[in-house]
């Protein structure tokens, strides 16, 4: 999903997509936020704070890094 600001006339907007990652041998859905012309990853959202803290330095195979 690509969100644009109400009065946005330039720029790529903010992208959101759900991907599945294998974390601790379990398939886990992760919401990813990206932006820019190359749809570069800004951050990931996890279902719990403890899961997010355990993955703070991780990247996903679906990430596009600038």
| Cα 36–Cα 39–Cα 43 angle in degrees, nearest 5 | 95
Contacts of residue 9, defined as CB under 8 A and 6 or more positions apart, other chains included, come to: none
The one-character DSSP state at 21 is E
pTM of the entire structure?
0.78
Give the model confidence (pLDDT) of 13-32 as tens digits: 899 999 898 888 899 999 99
**What confidence tier does 37 reach under pLDDT thresholds 50, 70, 90?**
confident
Say if residues 2 and 15 touch (Cβ distance below 8 Å): yes
């Amino acid at each position: 999903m690509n969100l644009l600001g109400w009065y946005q006339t330039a720029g790529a907007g903010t992208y959101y997509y759900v991907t599945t990652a294998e974390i601790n041998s379990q398939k886990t859905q992760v919401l990813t936020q990206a932006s820019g012309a190359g749809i570069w990853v800004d951050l990931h959202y996890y279902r719990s704070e403890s899961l997010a803290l355990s993955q703070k330095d991780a990247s996903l195979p679906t990430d596009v890094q600038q």
